[in-house]
Amino acid sequence: MRFLFLGDIVGRTGRDAVIKSIPYLRRTLSLDFVVANAENASHGFGLSPSVSTSLLECGIDVLTLGNHAWDQRALINYINTQPRIIRPLNYPPDTPGQGSVLVTLTDGRKILVANIMGRLFMDPLDDPFRSINELLTKYRLGTTVQAIIVDIHAEATSEKWALGHMLDGRVSLVVGTHTHAPTADYRIFANGTAFQTDVGMCGDYDSVIGMGKETAITRFTRKIPTERLQPAEGEATICGLLVETNAYGLAQRIAPLRLGGILEQTIPNF
């Protein structure tokens, strides 16, 4: 199986680039499945129902969220009507939406996608390690499901690494989101789980993590109230990770994707 995970989609320029490119990427990379983090897709803060519809209709199969999940208030009620949008699994009980989704492909193969949020330097949510362990008691990689993808939306690299090692051999991919900077440590762990500390963002990298530079710099240098941060509007770089799994659902090949914008370009060629 081949699937692509795309980093945080930031603002109009990020989502326009993704919407335009997904049909091309699905075709040229022979993709079975696409997941993207969309918590910054609407004006840089949250995900609106209309934007989620556009992203799902372009060929993304599942959208994950994070600490900006509820910035667009309309999503609070809408998320219960759209199972392909998932929020962090370790939100408190009775939070709207679900933290995972099981998708069945047209050929019958099943893929579990889970979204988890870290706690170091983040909101004090429920224990992410316990939450994902509880979820995985219901599924067995290679038998009940053919792939398991885990998005850990977190600030601390240590927390992401720890979760990745804990899940090694039990899931197909553990991938970090949230910091918007693609890391060079994409690899396959000893027991077959693909990992990357942060997959980066789909947005304008001539920015401060996707936001306009001047307002962001003023906030750091003057420590006074400023206008609301706005997404940068230059050409976006689409950042993602391609994973190919074997018959047991474990990773056998991985490669980064960087397309468009100002970062060095790389397109997987396997």
Burial, 189: exposed, middle or buried (Cβ in 10 Å; 0-12, 13-18, 19+)?
A: middle
Say how far apart CA 225 and CA 227 lie, in whole Å. Answer: 7
Q: Tokens standing for 58?
A: 């372009």
Q: Tokens standing for 159?
A: 């927390």
Say how far apart CA 224 and CA 219 lie, in whole Å. Answer: 6
Q: Tokens standing for 240?
A: 């993602």
CA angle 148, 153, 202 (to 5 degrees): 90
The sign one gets for the Cα dihedral 262, 208, 46, 177 is: positive
- Nearest CA among 252, 251, 270, 247 for reference residue 109: 247
Residue position matching structure tokens 């918590």: 39
> Quick one: DSSP state of residue 92?
P
153 is catalytic: no
The answer to whether residues 231 and 12 touch, using CB atoms and an 8 Å cutoff, is yes
Which residue out of 68, 153, 178, 180 is catalytically annotated? 68
End-to-end CA distance of the chain: 13
The sign one gets for the Cα dihedral 110, 201, 203, 67 is: positive
Looking at residue 227, its amino acid is E
> Quick one: DSSP state of residue 147?
E
Say how far apart CA 30 and CA 16 lie, in whole Å. Answer: 22
Residues identified as active-site: 68
